[in-house]
């Protein structure tokens, strides 16, 4: 049994499902990672992350509903909207950093498994990749 700090006991699987319900999607963690660095206007964030405005609007709305992103309408002409990470979303910083570290450490393996069109590529299956110690940067 896994006990969440300050919450009733939950199974570890349920805690992971709850987290994925909030962060699921291709872009949410990428958007948060960008906003951890600095606030962005909508257009600048779209360019920074490389996502279409339609998808970005949907993802930002969901992140805002979960109080992970703040939305500020600026008194400018034309009106601009600025998005920033919240103090609550900052609690995810170690998670996002760990994902980033893992992706950086295993980039070659990840990219190798995506190259299914190259028959000469012979990387080991994911189950044979040795786990890395936690905290490697």
- For the chain, the domains span 2-128
Q: What local confidence, expressed as pLDDT, does residue 10 receive?
A: 65
Q: What local confidence, expressed as pLDDT, does residue 130 receive?
A: 40
| Sequence-separated (6 or more) residues with CB below 8 Å from residue 42 | 53, 56, 57, 60, 80, 81, 83
Q: What local confidence, expressed as pLDDT, does residue 131 receive?
A: 40
Q: What local confidence, expressed as pLDDT, does residue 125 receive?
A: 42
For the domain 2-128, what is the CATH code? 1.10.10.10
Q: What local confidence, expressed as pLDDT, does residue 90 receive?
A: 95
Q: What local confidence, expressed as pLDDT, does residue 111 receive?
A: 87
Strand residue runs (E) in 1-68: 2-3, 9-10, 40-41
The pLDDT tens digits along the chain (137 residues) read 455 666 555 688 888 899 999 999 999 999 999 999 999 999 999 999 999 999 999 999 999 999 999 999 999 899 999 999 999 999 999 999 999 999 999 998 988 876 555 544 444 443 333 444 444 33
Q: How buried is 22 (Cβ within 10 angstroms: 0-12 exposed, 13-18 middle, 19+ buried)?
A: middle
Q: What local confidence, expressed as pLDDT, does residue 129 receive?
A: 38
Q: What local confidence, expressed as pLDDT, does residue 5 receive?
A: 62
């Amino acid at each position: 049994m896994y006990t969440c700090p300050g919450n009733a006991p939950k199974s570890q699987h349920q805690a992971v499902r709850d987290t994925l319900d909030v962060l699921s999607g291709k872009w949410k963690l990428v958007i948060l990672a960008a906003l951890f660095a600095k606030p962005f206007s909508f257009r600048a964030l779209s360019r920074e992350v490389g996502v279409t405005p339609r998808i970005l609007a949907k993802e930002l709305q969901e992140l805002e509903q979960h109080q992970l992103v703040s939305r500020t309408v600026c008194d400018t002409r034309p009106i601009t909207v600025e998005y920033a990470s919240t103090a609550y979303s900052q609690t995810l910083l170690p998670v996002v950093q760990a994902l980033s570290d893992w992706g950086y450490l295993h980039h070659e393996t990840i990219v190798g498994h995506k190259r299914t069109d190259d028959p000469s590529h012979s990387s080991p299956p994911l189950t044979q990749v040795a786990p890395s110690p936690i905290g490697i940067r």
